[in-house]
Amino acid sequence: MSCLSCASNHPADFSAEMIVHVGGPKNLDNPGTWIFTKLSICLDCGCARFTVPEIELALLAARAPKSERPAQAAGA
């Protein structure tokens, strides 16, 4: 797949472990959410792509600040 940033065809795939934190001083005690995924990195421009697995995505959605959450549909 070509890079969305520079259209290069030089990607490399890597295993990744990352931790995502909710920002702001009131979230300092929040330990963050570990994500284990694959990264696809363009070796020309450095643009990276990854997908958050479903389980971790649900954890992130639950921990997201209310101002960052999508509006709920009526009756949901």
DSSP result, the chain: ---TTT--S-EEEEEEEEEE---SGGGTT---EEEEEEEEEETTT--EEE---HHHHHHHHHHS-GGGSPPPPTT-
- For the chain, the distance separating the N- and C-terminal CA atoms, rounded to the nearest angstrom, is 37
Question: Is pLDDT of 1 > 50?
Answer: yes
Q: Is the pTM of this model over 0.85?
A: no
Question: 29-74: per-residue pLDDT in tens?
Answer: 888 899 999 999 999 999 999 999 999 999 988 888 776 555 654 4
Give the per-residue pLDDT at 67.
66
Query: Which three-class secondary structure string do you get for 14-25?
Result: EEEEEEECCCCH
37: amino acid identity, one letter: T
